Amino acid sequence: MAPTDATTETDVLVIGGGPGGYVAAIRAAQHDLDVTLVEADAYGGTCLNDGCIPSKAFITAADVAHDAANAAEMGIHADPTVDMAALAAWKDGVVDRLTSGVEKLCKANGVGLIEGTATFEDDHTARIAHDGADRETEFVAFEACIVATGSRPIEIPGFSFADDHVWSSKDALAAETVPEELVVVGAGYIGMELSTMFTKIGADVTVVEMLDSALPAYDDDITRSVRSRAADRGVDFRFGEGASEWHEAGGGIEVVTETADGETAAYDADKVLVAVGRQPVTDTLALENVDLEPTEEGVLETDDRARTDRDHVFAVGDVAGEPMLAHKASAEGIVAAEVAAGEAAALDYQAIPGAVFTDPEIATVGLTEGEAQQAGLDPLVGKFSFQHSGRAMTANATDGFVKIVMDASDGTILGGHVVGEEASELIGEIGLAVSAELGFDAFQSTVHTHPTLSEAVREAVLDTVGTAIHSP
């Protein structure tokens, strides 16, 4: 136990300044609680610094270059050159502005900020270690603690991120040159987003996936357009193969794969990007000192109030398990802060949307048709293709569709799935319907602006009962 004179007291200690942690800290401070936030690296966490923000910046830039180079159909002829160093500098500027913004928001709300690494000393005390020998270890006594330490990329045997030729997603998003040949291990959302991006800016990309399809978490009708578009762009998919080793060869590297039957293959590359998932960062916390034990995967299990087995210790974001999404982390952070402040709050996980920023985008929320049936419901399904959308035609973005799952008994919207341009934006309207338990009548009476992609949402809802106007 820390000496009394070396201990700072706070109502709520937040460990980690990512989208779960800083949001939790601000909301707790808004309840007039004394809040201390400890961050070991950079405010904003992985999402802001090394994940969703820099990846979307790169994806946007890649789309601009690709669209300009392929706009001859519109009468536009261009041959753009991608300056990766300049692109990286622009991306870093975006990240820096957002990072400083998080710090300013915390300070404006009275959140105390400490830079360092926190570990549990005992049930109500944390030890804060600082980089540098000239800084003393300090202790923080807390009434409640919110753990938001995030996750790290998973390494696979033989592929260490310490090797120059082996990239994590963080390394890929820090690249200042485009590899001529890139092998991507993993066809989940990170692998698919980055493989598409690098293909658009000139890399020759091979995707190696042990399973038999890309984006295996989604139904085939959801992913079909994404796989087809990626293949058309030049991505070479190698399903049923797992990366087993790599070695230097001819100035670059050779990545060796193996099938379940023991057959091997080899692919030349300049870099290999390992994107097989992420694991929660819970091994740095000394959880045994607060009588908590994570799962085998490193997850701190929680209830719908973000509480662990110790009611005064909360876990939010990636450390609380799937889905590992920034907005899920923020939503959990708000719930944790509310509960810590004595308020009634709980999270409806069914209404949390997900998005994959592939080409085209994928976004989902709520139940699939199969999940609704498994829950004993009687779902009606409506669908509207962007091929029939005037706005999609003018944007040259007719790939994809909106699919709505509705409860036949009362017309309540159970879920929605969008594949296509701006799917990540369109899903918000459907998410509101799921969260608020809105139904058919709400959409039927809502007039959408014309011409917009959002009209497709209303048409898909109408199609559940066969009254869509623009479906052939």
Mean pLDDT of the chain: 94
Q: Which CATH code for domain 360-463?
A: 3.30.390.30
Using an 8 Å Cβ cutoff, are 335 and 305 in contact? yes
Interval 94-122: pLDDT, tens = 999 999 999 999 999 999 999 999 999 99
> Is there a common fold for 4-153+279-349 and 166-276?
yes
pLDDT score recorded for residue 135: 66
Q: Is the pLDDT at 34 greater than 80, yes or no? A: yes
pLDDT per position as a tens digit, 284-337: 999 999 999 999 999 999 999 999 999 999 999 999 999 999 999 999 999 999
| CATH number, domain 4-153+279-349 | 3.50.50.60
Q: Please tell me which residue in 327, 448, 450, 470 is annotated as part of the active site.
A: 450
| The two three-digit tokens of residue 469, written as one number | 């106007």
Does residue 276 register a pLDDT over 50? yes
Question: What pLDDT score was predicted for residue 134?
Answer: 60
Res 2: pLDDT: 44
Q: What is the CATH number of domain 166-276?
A: 3.50.50.60
C-alpha 419: how far from chain center: 17
Q: What's this model's pTM, rounded to 2 decimal places?
A: 0.93
450 in catalytic set: yes
Which positions ≥6 away from 355 have C-beta within 8 Å? Answer: 361, 362, 363, 364, 423, 424, 427
- The interaxial angle of helices 52-69 and 84-108, nearest 10 deg, is 140
The pLDDT of residue 136 is: 76
Model pLDDT for residues 360-371, shown as the tens digit of each residue: 999 999 999 999
Distance CA 334, CA 351 (A): 15
The Cα 207–Cα 227 span in angstroms is: 11
pLDDT tens sequence across 371-382 = 999 999 999 999
How many angstroms separate the Cα of 366 from the Cα of each of 161, 301, 418, 428, 431? 36, 22, 12, 12, 7
Give me the residue label for tokens 């879920």.
415
Query: Which of these, 410, 351, 416, 429, lies nearest to 382 by C-alpha position?
Result: 416
- Is the pLDDT at 5 greater than 80? The verdict is no
pLDDT given at position 132 = 63
What single-letter DSSP state applies at residue 175? -
Instruction: Report which secondary-structure segment, H or E, holds 9.
Output: strand 7-15
- Largest pairwise CA distance in the chain: 76
Cα 85-89-92 angle, rounded to 5 deg: 135
pLDDT of residue 7: 82
Name the residue type at position 379.
P
SS3 of 377, please? Answer: coil
- Which residues make beta-bridge pairs with 136? none
Mean pLDDT of 416-421: 97
CA distance 150 to 293: 16
Domain assignments of the chain as residue spans, ordered by start: 4-153+279-349, 166-276, 360-463
